[in-house]
Amino acid sequence: MKFNNLLFETEAGVTTITINRPKKLNALNIETIEELHNAFKKADNDKSTKVIIVTGSGEKAFVAGADISEFADFSEEEGKQLALKGQTILFDFVENLSTPVIAAVNGFALGGGLELAMACHFRVASDNAKMGLPEVSLGVIPGYGGTQRLPQLIGKGRAMELIMTASMIDANQALNYGLVNHVTTQEELLPLSEKLAYKIANNSLVAISQAIKAVNANYKDGVNGFHAEIVGFGNCFGTDDFIEGTTAFLQKRKANFPGK
């Protein structure tokens, strides 16, 4: 599969997807969103891929936002369809992916860039990262899940302030808010992300996929997260990973999970 706007590499069970539009600060246009969908789907379907890392090329930006030139003249209905399609094929798709996804946020993560990072299962940031949802300064609101995921991650009040002021926060403030899990230098961003990925990869990927479903269930209207946890817990009992994990524990040895 060939990509025009992405770099795709798999090594030692970790697939790294790099958004590669440095002249546009890796802004998300329609083509890039579709390519990201295909790249995540390819990695998720690859049995050798245990963890996915997504990042941006260059030192300035993870993703500086959406490509505004593509939708500046859209009608109301076209705007709704833009948000609906983007949420469906990328942002919701990534959030519910069975393979763990880490966002390695290097530089600016604004608008759609922050929304992509928030759709990932957790985030690591470089110390030069800047994050925000500046959409109201353009006369629009976040349309790729930002109004929903930001309050979930940092609380309603802080999210309201960031969205209404269109302000940016730096990496340390993002860490303090709980928006990112770790802050490191730009040079150590990918090595730290890979270290976390390898730690995840040592565990049962089957169980992790059930955990992702259970955690996400708590944030869906009309879904009982506790019930989803009970179902996922029970499902694990019918897997080879459960047999290997419990047997290894009882035999006092390291588990060797079969994979996806």
Active site positions, annotated: 115, 135
Residue type at 235 in one-letter notation: N
Cα angle value 19/26/179 (rounded, 5°)? 80
**DSSP structure string for 145-198:** SHHHHHHHHH-HHHHHHHHHHT-EEEHHHHHHHTS-SEEE-HHHHHHHHHHHHH
Helix-helix angle 112-119:146-154, to 10 degrees? 60
Tell me how far apart the alpha carbons of residues 109 and 27 are, in angstroms, rounded to a whole number. Answer: 10
